[in-house]
Amino acid sequence: MRVVEDLRNSVFGLVQRNPDTMIIGEDLLDPYGGAFKVTKGLSDAFPKNVITTPISEAGLVGVGLGMALRGKTVVAEIMFGDFLTLTMDQLVNHAAKVKWMFNDAVDANLIVRTPMGGGRGYGPTHSQSIEKHFCGVPGLTVLAVNQFSSPGKLLEKAVSIGSPVLFIENKIMYSKLVEPERLITYDKPDGIILTYGGVSEMCVKAAERLLEDEEITIEVVPIESLSPLPIELIQNVTAKSDRIFTVEEGTESWGFGAACAEHILSAGITPKHFISIAADPIAIPSARNWELQILPNVGRIERQILETF
């Protein structure tokens, strides 16, 4: 099953099981069915549960928050993750705080889905990975899909949390197959890659090439919960090797690699090599060949791992 199909089945299942579930976003109505087709067919099947909105990310998340405060389960779609900046006030200043502001009398079961990342030549304002700006916000959970476990089950987990969730997908991942069998674990691997989201497949491809060409064993660990991070998992897996790599599609500064390093070092784990692989700190260009050079790619991951041997 492809990632888009797994997510679509999950969304349909959410509405079927709970008629109080509302789906809200731009261009969701059929026959278009959303920019990346996760909600295709939904408005025909459940016309009372799907609201298509004007082009106002702040407005649609604000409306979604209001419905969630009235007891609805709300899945709001932001067409491109870059536009999350327009929802910052609603998510950070309001949704994430309501359970404390109202002494746990009310919470907001609001899930904001959005595709992140580049690789499709969409240019500097439609290709970013800016989820790190939302990590560490008290009361806001940040989850990231990867194709090596079920995206649909992760969406169901997001709904079960019962409080605001930012749910990160990836543009280049929708057409990929869900393939959990491609992840290999080792007792004592030559290296560990901690990663998340769309670059997870690049890491797995690099690990497969290194195993075939160089007999180097690299264990890839895709992380689904970015905030809060699964600290125990990170510490346990990185204790198995003295070569640790983190790979993220966003820029390195104040990012995923730094957060992982904090928890690794705080456990007294001191790897011989710790390398963070991330996007170059520039705006993402529209020229696709240049875009692919400044973002992490399989060859770059493979080379930086080989340099440690």
Tell me the residue range of the domain where 32 lies: 3-173
The reported pTM is 0.96
Tell whether 178 is covered by a domain.
no
Of 148, 173, 198, the residue that ends a domain is: 173
Tens of pLDDT along 108-130? 999 999 999 999 999 999 999 99
Q: Which of 155, 173, 191 is where one domain is finished?
A: 173
Kindly report, residue by residue over 15-57, the tens digit of the pLDDT. 999 999 999 999 999 999 999 999 999 999 999 999 999 999 9
CA 241 to chain centroid, in Å, comes to 26
Residue 288 has pLDDT above 90, yes or no: no
What's the number of domains the chain is made of?
2
Same domain as 218, residue 288: yes
Q: Which of 132, 149, 173 is the last residue of a domain?
A: 173
Same domain, 115 and 146: yes
Tell me the per-residue pLDDT of 229-257, one tens digit each, with 9 for 90 and over.
Answer: 999 999 999 999 999 999 999 999 999 99
pLDDT above 70 coverage of the chain, percent: 100
Q: What percentage of the chain exceeds 90 in pLDDT?
A: 98
